[in-house]
Structure formats: C-alpha cells, structure tokens
Chains A and B, each alone.
Chain A
Amino acid sequence: MTQHRTIALRRGAMIAIPVVGALVLAGCSGSGDASSTSGGESTEFSFTFATSNNLESPYETLANDYMEANPGVKITTNPTPNDKYGETIRTQLQAGNASDVIQTTPGSGDARGIIPLAEAGFLEPLGDTAKDLIPAGSESIFEIDDKVYGQPLDFTIGSVVASLGTAEMNGIDGWPTTMDELNDACSALAGDGKSLLALAGAAGPNAGLTAQAISATRVYAEDPDWNQKRADGDVTFADSDGWKATLQTIIDLKDQGCFQQGSEGAGFDAITNGLAQGTSVGSFIPSGAAIEISKAAPPEAKFAVEPFPADDDGKAFILASSNYTLSINAASKAKDAASDFLEWMASSDAQQRYYELSGELPVSAYQDMDLTGTIYEPIVDLLASESYTPLPNNIWPNPSVYDALQVGVQGLLTGQKTVDQVLQDMDAAWGE
C-alpha cells in the first residue's frame, strides 16, 4: 500500500464517517413521518395517545376496530407514557415529526392543552361533527375564533368513587349526604384504623382533583361563572369565601381523620390498595378509574360515583366535563384520513365501545343513556339537572395555577402553608 493510497483512504474515512452519521441521524428524525401516499392522499396515518400502564389502551383497541372496519386503512399507534406526554407531543410538534392524530386536552391548563397548541399553529381546525359535540358553555376551551381544535371524547365525572360494599361492612349505611354524616363516618372508620377517603397527597394530580371536586360545592354551585369573573379580574382566589371554604374543608377532613394515616406522603398506590383491600371507602378519582380498581377489588366492593356533601346551606354539585380530546396535526399529510377517523370516533357505535372499554361516559350519548345499575346511578339526577361544572383547571390560563393548588394542598396537609398563602400563590400564578 503506497503512502498516497493510505492518505486517500484516511481522507475518505474522514468524509465517510460524518456522512454516514448524518444519514443515520436523518433516518432517525425522519421516522416520525410514517404516512405514505397513494393517489395523492394517504390512507395511512399515525395516532399518539397517553397511557398509564402496559395494558392495551382503549384508544389502541378503537384504532384496531377502525382498521378492521376499513381494510384499506393502516393506523400506526404511538402509546406514550402519561407523565411525559405533554412535553413529548410539544417537542414532536415543534420538531415537525408529531403524529397525524394526537390526544389532547381542552383549554390551556395543561401542557397538552389545545388552546396554546392551536395558537402556535400546530393544530388543524376541525369540522361540524367536533363542534356539535362540545358541551354547552364550554366553547372557550375548545375553540379559537369560532374554529374548533379538539373533538371531545369522554364525559368524565370528577367526584368521589366509593366502595359501598366496604362502607356496609364497616357499619356505614350508604354514602354520607351531609358534612355531619361524613364526619361521623370518618370518626367511626378512623377508630378501626381505616379511613373514609384515600388521598395521594404526594401525587399532585390527586391533591388537585380533591380540592377541585370540593370546590364544585363551595365555589361553582353558587357561582358557575366564577372562572370567567377571575379572568375578568372581578374576583380573586384570595378574596373568595368559596375557595377559602374549599381549602378549609381539606384541613377539617384531615383533622377529623377522614384521610388515611400518612396521606400527605402517599402516592397513587395508596388509593388503589386502599380501595381494593377495603381499608378506605372512597377517593377523589376520575370516574373511569373505578373500572380499573374494581378489577383488583372483590366483587362485593360495589363501586359507585358519589357526590361530595355540600356545606350546610349549599347544594350538591359535581365536576363533569370532557377531559380528553382528539386533534389533527396541522402539518399532517393525511388530514382526510385522520378526519374520517375522528368522524368514526364520534359515531354512536364507537362511543358505546369507548364507554365499555374505558368506563368513561361518552360525550355524545351520556344524556340519552340509561345509567340505572351502573356506577353512575347516584349522580343521574345531578346530570339531568345540569348540576355540574367543567374541571376548573382546564379553564385556567396556564398550568402554573393548578400547580400552585396541588403544591398548596400538600402544604395544608403538612402544615407548611395556610389557606391564605395557597390562594395568594394561585393568584400570583394566574398573572395579570
């Protein structure tokens, strides 16, 4: 081998290595664009959704059902861990390699909220089918300038999911309907080393949902437009008697022994174990979670969605709204195929299937469904009388407000914060 040849080889290697490296990287970054076109528009598209476990997601099953019903269509599903979901889809949308169909949430209180994503131009406006599904009065968290960017899917109840079987076994006759009854039940159960409510105080979403579900009776029952007034600057959290009562109720529940011991440091496993093993009667969790927990609990557990008791002069009120939406990526090359899929997801068959799979009420049909004998039976009257409000944090202007509430509730449980401090933190997070 001559000296010239050796030098030429070295130079060739110097050029080849970076080029191959660049091609490999380009190949990786291009892998998100899975759609192929035939005749101009693709019948192949990708679908990203959040998942919390390794069981088959209802979305996965529905995508498979759709492919079975439409043999020419191929859906590439991308289940993404729930705790990293918001940042993942934001990064993918920014990088231009997001899926064609994306699971989102209404409003702007979450990293996956459709309003900031639509304002940044990442989401495609949807058609009349999506518009018709939006619950009355909730347009502001689905629309910008009369254009809809997320198709609602579920109608989730945010209240107490309780095991009536566990209550009966501990001598409690039915779910308490007044605060006095509730306090009595708490004392009775605490005496036996059990608790009426399981709380995951160290898990922000559960601490936050607990406060919000209680606020339905203390704030929104009396003033359903409270969030709009806060946005207009007419009211503040710190001056709100309803919000003060809400947070004071959490402190009272702790002092009465309504939560399990060590609740301030507990995670979601405390709820699952407590309800499944019968050491706790109920917990503030999304209604669909009852289906998951009931699989681990004995048959006699008899789970039901129950309203949290109102104050002495208050009225029963619950959280109920669509918390999950489907959106189409504005940069998608398969928008028609994606739109057809969303159209099918709104059909009564797909909605019924979603209910069977997830346990969540379908947004298009819950008003016409006969809920007798289901876990939703105790709240049928509240749904009929529209005694419910959307999840407040979906309406709040940024995720920091809800974060301040989550952190604050744990601070109340540990004694690190006062009610006034938490409410002031929420006002500060709201901004101008």
Chain B
Amino acid sequence: MSRTLETKTEAVLARELGADRGRRPIGGRPRRAGLLKFGYWWWALPGILFVIAIHYVSTGVGGFFAFTDWTGIGAFEWIGFDNFVAIFQDPSKVGALVNTLFLAFASVILSTVVGMGLALGLNRGLKSRYVLRVLFFMPVVLSPLAVSYIWKFIFDFNGPINVVLRALGLGEFAKAWVADPVWAIWTILIVIVWQNTGFAMVIYLAGLAAVPVEMEEAAAIDGAGVWQRFWHIVLPSIRPAVAIATTLGLVNGLRVFDQIMALTGGGPASATETLATQVYKESFALGNFGYGAALALLLTVIILVFAVVQQRVTQGRPEEN
C-alpha cells in the first residue's frame, strides 16, 4: 500500500479489511479438531441415500416420462421430443411461460426494492423498529393458500376494494379484479410481493447488521450524501445478502402455484396460467402425464439456468472488487 490514505472512510475501510485478514485461520488447519474427529462422512450415508432415492431418483423418473405419452395409467410409448415440440407450438403454453417469467422477475424486483427500503428504515434509530419488523415479517409465516383466499375476498366484485370505490363515487372502476384479463395477473403479483417482502427485509437486515457504523459515519464526515453512502458503502457491503434474497425470490417466483390456484385458478381464460399451474392441470386434471412431465422438466431447466446466472452475476464480494 504505497499511496497515502486520503480520507477517513478509506482509513476505516483499511482497518476493517486488515482486521478481517487477521482473523482468518492460518494454513486451512481445522480450528476445532477434537469435535470434527468425532464424526465421519459416512454417518450421513443413510440420509444421503434417502434423499437420492426419494428426491433425485423420483425426479429423474419424472424426467423420463417427459419423453413418453403416458396418461397416468396403463401403458405408454416413447415419443422423443414430441411433447416439447407441442409445448412450443401451443400459444397458451408460450403464454404460460411468459407469465411465469413476468411474475418471477417482477416479484423479485418489487420485493427487493420494498424489502430493502423497509430494512434500511428499520435498521437502527427508530424506537418501534422491533414491533414493525415483526409486523412486516408476519405475512411470510402465513400459509400462502389461506392468505390468497383472503386476498380473493378483498379483490372480489362485492369485496372491500369495490365497496370503497363505490363509496367514493368511483363505481365505474369497480370490477371483478381477479377475472379481469388485464388486472388478474397484477392481483397475483401484489399478493406475492406482499408475502415475500418480509422475507427479503429480514435477509437485508441481517446484511445491514454487518455494515460498520464507523464506515458510514466516516463517509458522512467526508461529505457523502445519503444516496452516495447507500450506493458506495451499504450496497457493496450487503452484496451477499442481495445475492441470497434475489436468488431465493427468483426461484420462488418461478414456481409460484398456491396464490394462482387460489386467486384465479389460471383464469380468466388462461390469462394467468404459469408453467407450474399447467404442470398440475395437464398431469392431474387432464390426464396428460407425459406432457405435464415435459412442462415440469422445462420449468426445472429454467429455474436451474436462472439460479446459476443469478449466482454468477451477484457472487462477487466487495473486497474482491
């Protein structure tokens, strides 16, 4: 480090990084050798076998049926990629794919922005922050299905939203929100974001707890504004938290099911169908198990691709930059 430290912020940063380095174990030697010696890797073998058999083998078998015309009962034939060709030739399935991506990305962006805002607001200072944190986190622990039925009542034609609109003399705007071709998907998005924001908030709060107050104070003394402090100090420091929150949010958004089934059932006229609801409908309601398995395989591949890309984009740590 040949150049002199020009600001107090840099001085604090250097001290923090130096302290980090000092705490690292030397030579990768286990710190608690006595405890680690007590266990052996094969102790986990029964669990591993169960997980492989129940989870991965059954998933693999499901993937196999994606290349068959099985109806769920009786015999089946190997039909190669016919199911996948049929999926991409069917406009309703392409629409389901678009809806899936829209709900996933829109819910991640909104949950991240609102969750981050709440986390910053409730990080420190506010006296009632503990109560407010509980209130904002509460939707996360509620059953998505039960919550969605309550929201369905709220969005109902005779529900509270329309009652308020009529009371305000805005009766012409009252509508069956969950059956409106334009608004139905937005009602689902609202419910998903409402329920996921608390989860994102908690992850960001955990990340913010590790951001040193001194660093922010030093930046403030150097004349950095609120926005500059957030962009150059806070956000880089909580980048791992952003990676976790957005990855989990994206995966959850891609496989969202309960809220759609409870609110719209995929309607009106398939306007809110996603790959997850189509997997269920084709496999179990319509008896096209092979076709449903192909949709499920497609959804799995999409989730894998986006999860990997997401991790690649957000994996860098601040000190590595």
Name A's B-contacting residues (CB within 8 A): 10, 14, 17-18, 21, 86-87, 90-91, 93-94, 111, 116-117, 119-122, 201-202, 204, 261-266, 398-400, 403, 407-408, 410-411, 413-417
Contact = CB atoms under 8 A, between A and B. Distances in A.
A311 B156 CA distance: 34
Most buried by A among B177, B180, B264, B286: B286
Given A202-B264, A398-B286, A407-B269, A262 B73 contact: no
B313 to A, nearest CB: 37
Interface string B245-275: 0000000000000000000110111110000
B72 interface: yes
Interface residues of B, number: 34
B122 to A, nearest CB: 36
30 contacts: A14-B46, A17-B46, A21-B46, A86-B285, A86-B287, A87-B284, A93-B73, A122-B73, A201-B179, A201-B268, A202-B179, A202-B267, A204-B265, A262-B158, A262-B179, A265-B176, A265-B178, A266-B179, A398-B286, A399-B285, A399-B286, A400-B286, A407-B269, A407-B270, A410-B179, A410-B269, A411-B268, A414-B268, A416-B181, A417-B269
B287 A120 contact: no
A262 B156 contact: yes
A75 to B, nearest CB: 25
A14 B45 contact: yes
A206 to B, nearest CB: 12
Contacts of B177: 265
B287 A264 contact: no
A265 B285 contact: no
Contact of B179 (A93, A265, A403, A417): A265
A14 B43 CA distance: 8
B27 interface: no
Shortest 7 CB-CB distances between A and B: which pairs?
A: A262-B157, A265-B179, A265-B176, A411-B269, A120-B74, A87-B284, A262-B176
A399 B287 contact: yes
Most buried by B among A121, A265, A410: A265
Contacts of B75: 120
B266 to A, nearest CB: 8
A195 B75 CA distance: 49
A202 B268 contact: yes
Nearest to B176: A265
Contacts of A261: 157
Given A116-B73, A202-B267, A265-B178, 15 more contacts: A18-B50, A21-B50, A87-B284, A90-B72, A120-B73, A122-B73, A262-B156, A264-B179, A398-B287, A400-B288, A407-B267, A410-B179, A410-B268, A414-B269, A417-B269
B74 A265 contact: no
A111 B71 CA distance: 10
A262 B162 CA distance: 11
Contacts of B94: none
Contact of A408 (B180, B269, B284, B288): B269
A117 B74 CA distance: 8
B221 interface: no
A87 B72 CA distance: 9
B269 A416 contact: yes
A111 B269 contact: no
A202 B265 contact: yes
B190 to A, nearest CB: 16
A317 to B, nearest CB: 28
Interface in B129-164: 156-158
Given A121-B74, A262-B158, A414 B179 contact: yes
B46 A90 contact: no
B301 interface: no
B73 A410 contact: no
A266 B285 contact: no
B73 A264 contact: no
Contact of A416 (B74, B176, B268): B268
B291 to A, nearest CB: 10
Interface string B197-222: 00000000000000000000000000
Contact of A266 (B45, B157, B175, B287): B157
Contacts of A90: 72-73, 287
A264 B268 contact: yes
A86 to B, nearest CB: 7
Most buried by B among A94, A120, A407: A407
B73 A416 contact: no
